[in-house]
Amino acid sequence: MVKQVPDAADIRFDPITLNLIREGIPSIVNPFCLNALEEGLRLKERFGGTVTAVSMGPLQAQDGLREALAIGADRAVLASDREMAGADTLATSYTLWKTMQRIAENQPFDIILSGKVAIDGETGQVPPGIAVRFGIPIISNVTMIEEIDLESQAIVAKHRFDDGIETVRAPLPAVLTITEEANKPRKFTVEGMLKAKRMKVEVWDKNTMGADPDLLGLKGSPTIVKKVFPPPGRKQGEIFDGTADPRAAAKWLIQKLVSVRALGSSQAESLQTPVQITNPSTIVEMLGQPASKIENSEKFGEVWVFIEHLHGRPAQVGWELLGEGKRLASIYGTKLAALVIGNNVEHLAKDAFAYGADKVYMVDHEQLEDYRTQPYAVAMTQAVRKYRPEALLIGGTVRGRDLAGSAATFLETGLIADCTALDVDTESGTFMGTRPDYGGNLMSTIICPKHRPTMASVRPRVMKALPPSPDGDREIVRMHVDLRKQDLNTNVIEFVPIEKIGVRLEDAQVIVSGGRGLGSAKNFYLVEELARILNGQVGASRAAVRAGWIGFEHQVGQTGLTVRPRLYVAVGISGAIQHIVGIMNVDYIVAINRDPNAPIFKMADFGVVGDIFKVIPALIDELKSGGLAELAPWQKSSTP
């Protein structure tokens, strides 16, 4: 799949329809789609066959498909019809499924390859939906295809989760989403450009695909955009001129970071002290939200939270969502329930009660020992269909995105992905999710007015967990799940936990990034040493990566990684828009640059103007001498 995405620097919306105005906006091929294309070309070179590039969008999306042809694709098909406009992830997966289904009538496929996400939305929800519609396995976030056995029609691949790397085996055909780790995309050549110019991009409308018009575009989308607005601007923080005295600048910066708890101990540590909470108004007060309630609450279902875990070890995001779910359930006047799926996970019910759940729905089955998309999605679907919750919240982790996209397709309901805020319209009872779009340049509030449940995935570390309370057990509803043989369509071969492979930038709570201001690759040792002292990870600007100073896997920004650490230190980075969009959701940004007019200072909470080759060594010395060269427990990944 090849997606043409708008340049995040020039985004416009129709003020009436709230749809993206694509015409006249510069576009690029989604960088992760180029990784998928590269993987397809490598498989073709190894095993033979053909590579077909498929896209959906307006006619200008042909440009992206021609680029794919120039790089090496053998065929290009564009699904384009006015009735496809405004499609959400459910309608998009339907459209692409019908397109591929039509192609497969004369040209059967073995593998569907997609980028891990598209940089305009970063939801990663469409590929799981396509896999559900075809009834085939999905392997998300693939870092390496280890083996393809043509005789047995099976594939073995490694894929990355938030807490480690897993090796799985699945039958073909299958859907794979490819990460930037998997390969380095090739560039098109002059010969390729000439070939692409001679070739035809096939443009198919709804009739060519045999698609149902009621399932396309806005008409086929359970979710609709209620409001689009600029993101709340980051207020420019404090700047210290350390040109004359780098050590004074270092001391000032450390003092500021300690004052906002970006270093050292945190309030989160106090959450380990049990607190008895019995009054709902106390919970609402703790979460900092008004206690508005809806009338006629009896017509609304429960608020559910999926508790993600790895072999019984819970992810912190589940407790965060229970905290937010408590507030939402209070507005609805209904109960908050946790959904626990797994094998021998009874203990998670007790934990869920401690973090605010009024009820736990337990699906315990021996075939659910390992997380596998299809059986978990089937279990979730059966539970939802039986008990009909009002809303279902899922962590926006790798597993969460994978599961949410599959379950929402089974349920044919709306999914608001990657939310940073949730709320309820107290007049209508409509659930609302707000999420960043287009590299953080816009915020969209999305609703699902006619389908239940409304599903929402929520980014980790966005919501507040309640203090755990030893309030005792409450109601546990145990549910049997019917799993067919075809639902068990992947086998886990090996799992290597994150502790053995190191934290990825996407998971890191502290990132120190270097830019062009470092001058050369040899000077990256300053960034690496500061990151080591803070027990963080090393990032980089696009300029530093393009200069060959550090690998692409470290690149932060629109064409690299979007990161959400608590602390981001930008060393010698000017702050171009493509870098800024990758750090929009960082809690605290520190900028260190010799240019007082560098744009990065407008985004920084704390900035130091000065020579980085003097400020950084002074900062390292002060951190060591102050005993702050350790990462507090709360700063670690939210997925234990």
What ranges do the domains of the chain cover? 4-221, 238-265+502-635, 271-493
Average pLDDT over residues 384-391: 96
Residue 250's pLDDT is 96
Asked if 103 and 77 touch (Cβ cutoff 8 Å), the reply is yes
The alpha carbon of residue 202 and the mean position of all alpha carbons in its chain are separated, in whole angstroms, by 32
Average pLDDT over residues 506-534: 93
69-83, 256-270, 479-493, 582-596: lowest mean pLDDT where?
256-270
Work out the angle at residue 351's Cα, subtended by the Cα atoms of residues 315 and 280, and round it to the nearest 5 degrees. Answer: 105
Tokens of 499: 């502790």
Q: Would the pLDDT of 290 be above 60?
A: no
Per-residue pLDDT tens for 318-330?
A: 999 999 999 999 9
d(CA 91, CA 218): 8
Q: Is 164 left (phi over 0), alpha (psi -120 to 50) or beta?
A: left
Q: How far from 626 is each of 263, 512, 590, CA to CA, in Å?
A: 11, 19, 19
Residue 638's pLDDT is 38
Band of residue 8 on the pLDDT scale cut at 50, 70, 90: low
266-275, 325-334, 453-462: lowest mean pLDDT where?
266-275
Fold of 4-221: Rossmann fold (3.40.50)
d(CA 624, CA 533): 8
Band of residue 347 on the pLDDT scale cut at 50, 70, 90: very high
Residue 79's pLDDT is 97
Q: Would the pLDDT of 636 be above 50?
A: no
Q: Would the pLDDT of 208 be above 70?
A: yes
Q: Would the pLDDT of 629 be above 60?
A: no
% of the chain residues with pLDDT over 90:
67
Residue 402's pLDDT is 94
Band of residue 199 on the pLDDT scale cut at 50, 70, 90: very high
In this predicted model, which residue has the larger pLDDT, 465 or 409?
Answer: 409
Per-residue pLDDT tens for 564-622?
A: 788 999 999 999 877 887 787 788 999 999 999 999 999 899 999 999 999 999 999 99
d(CA 129, CA 95): 11
Average pLDDT over residues 27-39: 92
Band of residue 282 on the pLDDT scale cut at 50, 70, 90: very low
Residue 420's pLDDT is 84
Average pLDDT over residues 406-420: 94
In this predicted model, which residue has the larger pLDDT, 542 or 476?
Answer: 476
Fold of 238-265+502-635: Rossmann fold (3.40.50)
136-140, 289-293, 376-380: lowest mean pLDDT where?
289-293
Per-residue pLDDT tens for 489-498?
A: 999 999 988 6
Average pLDDT over residues 13-26: 60
d(CA 304, CA 278): 20
Residue 548's pLDDT is 86
Residue 297's pLDDT is 62
Q: How far from 123 is each of 161, 285, 396, 458, 490, CA to CA, in Å?
A: 15, 32, 9, 11, 23
d(CA 322, CA 607): 36
238-265+502-635 and 271-493 share one fold: yes
CATH code reported for the domain at 271-493: 3.40.50.620
Asked if 460 and 320 touch (Cβ cutoff 8 Å), the reply is yes
Work out the angle at residue 139's Cα, subtended by the Cα atoms of residues 370 and 369, and round it to the nearest 5 degrees. Answer: 5
Residue 639's pLDDT is 37
Q: What is the dihedral of CA 67, 71, 75, 80, to 10 degrees?
A: -20
pTM of the predicted model, to two decimals? 0.81
Residue 24's pLDDT is 61
272-276, 370-374, 397-401: lowest mean pLDDT where?
272-276
**Which residue has 């042909």 as its token pair?**
62
Q: Would the pLDDT of 131 be above 90?
A: yes
45-54, 207-216, 316-325, 582-591: lowest mean pLDDT where?
582-591
Asked if 525 and 534 touch (Cβ cutoff 8 Å), the reply is no
113-127, 150-164, 203-217, 358-372: lowest mean pLDDT where?
113-127
